[in-house]
Structure 1
């Protein structure tokens, strides 16, 4: 069983006005008191600050969780930061405006991984540790087929229609809709992946997929990013599964070899969504121990 939440809904967010531009964010927990510890989570493609995924491990450990929407997602315009390096600056400005002087960790998930690394490299005074989950490295990404398909169906003009079709399909034929979406997230047969999910996990994924939007963000996520891995000297935990089709395991291996102080943890999850893997309790324990070491 995974420890991913079984109830899923969109949560309230706020927009901060930073020197770099507006940044939508969600804050779970309190920033009051001298002992508060904050983890900043940068979600991947098609997600925004109002959608909480894989965060409970931090909240349950007593950390305040800060989640911004990356450029082009939610209410953060593409003009805020634009590049991972630029948004790393905007994120540092957001932290400053909230009175967060130190992050216990920055968490980079999927396409948010490169922004997390940029934040750690460019604002090392702010970031103590780095956690990367199914994260995109600095290898060529995505592959040609995914790039062409992504630009066609997830660009700013078409993405609303694409997600409307997916919502209709999931409503009319939930299992078929889930299999179709899981096909791009796993190298295993989609039926096998779906069969490995509990009813509660299926319900969570169903709701998540119906809430996803790409905005202007996903096409921007596919642009190349300068490699900053050698500049990230903080302890790093790199978590990934070999069954991930969306972000191949080679990305995790690359990050683990390039980051000066990294540990690679292999998940046994059937797909990109490591929180739904049979060994996620082990992964969560590893994450807690990694944070406690700080």
Structure 2
């Protein structure tokens, strides 16, 4: 994938911009890199252009570009200005949720719609678990897990799924199709710790009760990583918000028996 580096007022930020048509901004979740694919690239073939901005601490994006969601939202606006993009549809995944909300809250004139895909509404709700995400020990563990993936892929994937599903991880893995198993393998294989944002930087300390932007939240009841309470909070606070409950067995709402419904719902929301 061809990427571009932009020297913003807060530091270097990496992004890719592909396709022709209405712009969709994709902000990936924690440990995702430029190679991590959640199937959103197919939006290009549906008539959209896809702008993917690497989060602070990942790929070549410097941590200084956003130590809080609000600061990173400011940086993203500089990217939009550089590309002469007036308005975007935003898709925020997992821990990128607060950044998506910050964009909608502070730049409503630049955000047409916001989709929260298994996305945190506030980092505070999972603070205890998130404390483990950005430590030297965690970096070593993630690196070891990728090595294990090469030798014993099922063992490595089950270790990951134990944190992402309320179901039995072994049973869940056995039910998956070869393509879905490949999705998890590639997700783990492309994950990196980088110099990721500390948990305190992911917390939503601004008011989302006055958002003017239409919001679609897609969540699973069986998501162990981003619990369904995030969906309930989003629905209770945001005036124009629809929650689509995904019949998925884990945090990975992009695979499994309801994956097509997720794709169709996303397209419907973007085009309506």
**2: CA distance, partners of 1:63 / 1:116:** 19
Which of 252, 272, 287 is matched with 2:266 structurally? Answer: 287
Q: Which of 73, 76, 80 is 1:95 aligned to?
A: 80
TM-score by length of 1: 0.87
Q: Which residue of 1 aligns with 2:126?
A: 142
Separation (CA, whole Å) in 1 of partners of 2:79 and 2:232:
31
After superposition, the C-alpha distances for 1:150-178 in whole angstroms (9 at most, x for unaligned) are 3xxx32x4454222200111111111110
Number of equivalent positions = 272
2:12 maps to what in 1?
A: 22
19-28 vs 82-91, which deviates more? 19-28
The partner residue of 1:70 within 41, 44, 55 is: 55
Alpha-carbon separation, structure 2, partners of 1:284 and 1:162: 33
Please give the TM-score of this superposition, normalised by the length of structure 2: 0.94
CA distance in 1, matches of 2:166, 2:59: 29
Range with greater deviation from structure 2 (125-134 or 11-20): 11-20
Worse-superposed segment, 126-135 or 48-57: 48-57
Q: Deviations over 1:118-162 (max 9, x none)?
A: 011111111100100001012623252x23433xxx32x445422
Partner of 1:130: 114
Match of 1:229, SS state, is coil
What are the within-5 Å matches in structure 2 for residues 73-222 of structure 1?
A: 73-103=58-88, 105-138=89-122, 140-144=124-128, 146-150=129-133, 154-155=134-135, 157-220=136-199
5+ residue gaps, structure 2, are: none
Residues 1:236 and 1:47: Cα distance change in structure 2 (over 3 Å): same
Task: Give the match's secondary structure for 2:24.
Answer: strand
2:218 to 216, 234, 239: 239
Alpha-carbon distance between aligned partners in 2 of 1:170 and 1:222, rounded to the nearest angstrom: 30
Tell me how far 1:220 sits from its aligned partner.
4.0
In structure 1, stretches of 5+ residues that fail to align are: 1-10, 31-35
Do the aligned partners of 1:40 and 1:67 also contact (CA within 8 Å) in 2?
yes
Distance 1:181 1:139, change over 3 A: closer
The CA distance in 2 between the partners of 1:90 and 1:45, in whole Å, is 18
